[in-house]
């Protein structure tokens, strides 16, 4: 069997893959280059879908959880959509520093290098009507729907959310690697939300499949 581990970017795996099964490492602090695959033209359709959802719903207050450097912002601006407030936060220092420099002249855009553990740290003074979950719910292997509601509904009182996650059925995969996904646990969202629209992306750059979900709460 061909070893596909060098094609798996969650983020780029720098440790050798042993013969034993092991979890894909999920780092809370990573170098910007570790996730450079997210900034390719191949990954663009996934972020464009998120931007299109925001534009379609005319969202004016956006929270981006696990934002990295906020790639959705450039797409929104390129499409002429600029009248909104945005706060993105991430636990990794490098991408946040890059984003803060890039968007420093925009008073409606803010980036924070913080964790979701302290709700006061991620609070905002504008009305939120869209929360983007950028591939981070897999960091909550248990009761992630409850955590989703705690942040989206109770903290931000947002009527909308976008979830982007890797899918459980991957196109290229090394059987020795275990990737936690929420793909098989989405029924809680389907049955408890007013609207649940699923979009699937088969993108080579991810060495597998991704899902984007448009949720109305």
Residue 99 sits in a domain whose CATH number is 3.40.50.150
Q: Looking at the domain assignment, is residue 11 inside a domain? A: no
| DSSP three-state, residue 26 | coil
Could you tell me the residue range of the domain that residue 81 belongs to? 30-216
Of 169, 167, 171, 173, residue with least CA distance to 2: 173
pTM: 0.86
Q: Work out the pLDDT band at 5, boundaries 50, 70, 90.
A: very low
Of 171, 174, 178, residue with least CA distance to 200: 171
| Contact of 116 with 151, CB cutoff 8 Å | yes
Structural domain total, the chain: 1
Identify the pLDDT of residue 37: 67
Q: Looking at the domain assignment, is residue 197 inside a domain? A: yes
Q: Looking at the domain assignment, is residue 204 inside a domain? A: yes
149-159 pLDDT, tens digit each? 999 999 999 99
| Contact of 145 with 188, CB cutoff 8 Å | yes
Q: Looking at the domain assignment, is residue 54 inside a domain? A: yes
| DSSP three-state, residue 167 | coil
């Amino acid at each position: 069997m061909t070893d596909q581990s060098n094609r798996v970017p969650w983020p780029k795996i720098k440790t050798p893959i042993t013969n034993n099964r092991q979890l894909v490492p999920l780092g809370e602090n990573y170098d910007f280059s570790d996730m450079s695959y997210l900034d390719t033209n191949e990954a663009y359709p996934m972020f464009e879908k998120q931007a299109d959802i925001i534009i379609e719903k005319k969202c004016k207050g956006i929270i981006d959880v696990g934002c990295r450097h906020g790639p959705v912002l450039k797409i929104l601006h390129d499409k002429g959509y600029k009248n909104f407030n945005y706060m993105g936060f991430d636990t990794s220092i490098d991408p946040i520093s890059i984003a803060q420099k890039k968007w420093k002249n925009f008073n409606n855009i803010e980036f924070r290098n913080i964790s979701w553990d302290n709700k006061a740290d991620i609070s905002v003074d504008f009305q939120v009507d869209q929360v983007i979950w950028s591939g981070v719910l897999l960091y909550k292997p248990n009761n992630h729907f409850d955590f989703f509601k705690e942040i989206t509904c109770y903290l931000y009182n947002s009527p909308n959310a976008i979830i982007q996650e890797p899918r459980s059925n991957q196109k290229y995969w090394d059987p020795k690697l275990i990737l936690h996904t929420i793909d098989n646990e989405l029924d809680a969202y389907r049955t408890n939300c007013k609207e649940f629209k699923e979009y699937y992306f088969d993108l080579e750059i991810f060495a597998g499949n991704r899902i984007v979900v448009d949720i109305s709460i």
